[in-house]
Every structure is written in structure tokens, then in C-alpha cells.
């Protein structure tokens, strides 16, 4: 994931910061507990496509 792209991307729901999870190839919004997949190097920033993260799941 390009560092400059990470600097400008925000959560589409709350406009908060995202954390890159390299192992899972996801962008994580800790505030909304959503994980946005990265497919073929392109972040899928759609709320309906995001995976809900369990409260006990390590971020």
C-alpha cells in the first residue's frame, strides 16, 4: 500500500483515520470497527462491502 495514499484515505463512514493491516490486506477503522478490503492493490471503500470487526478481534 502506497504511504501517500494511506495519508489521504479516511473512513467513508466517520471520516476518521485508517490503519493498514498488511497481513490481511485491509484498511481498518478502529472507531467504526470496520475493515475495508484491498483487492488487486485497490481499496474497496464502500460501507456495504466492509467487514465488521468483532470487539475482541486484534487490530
Residue 8 has a pLDDT of 94
E strands, the chain, are 19-21, 26-29, 34-39, 42-43, 51-52
> With 90 as the cut, is the pLDDT of residue 18 above it?
yes
Taken in order of first residue, the domains within the chain and their CATH numbers are 3-52 (2.20.25.10)
Contact 32, 16 (CB under 8 A): yes
pLDDT bin (cut points 50, 70, 90) of residue 1 is confident
Convert the pLDDT of each residue in 21-58 to its tens digit: 999 999 999 999 999 999 998 999 999 999 999 988 75
Amino acid at each position: 500500500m502506497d504511504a501517500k495514499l494511506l495519508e489521504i484515505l479516511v473512513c467513508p463512514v466517520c471520516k476518521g483515520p485508517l490503519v493498514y493491516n498488511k497481513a490481511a490486506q485491509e484498511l481498518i477503522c478502529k472507531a467504526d470497527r470496520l475493515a475495508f478490503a484491498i483487492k488487486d492493490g485497490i481499496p474497496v471503500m464502500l460501507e456495504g462491502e466492509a467487514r465488521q470487526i468483532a470487539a475482541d478481534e486484534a487490530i
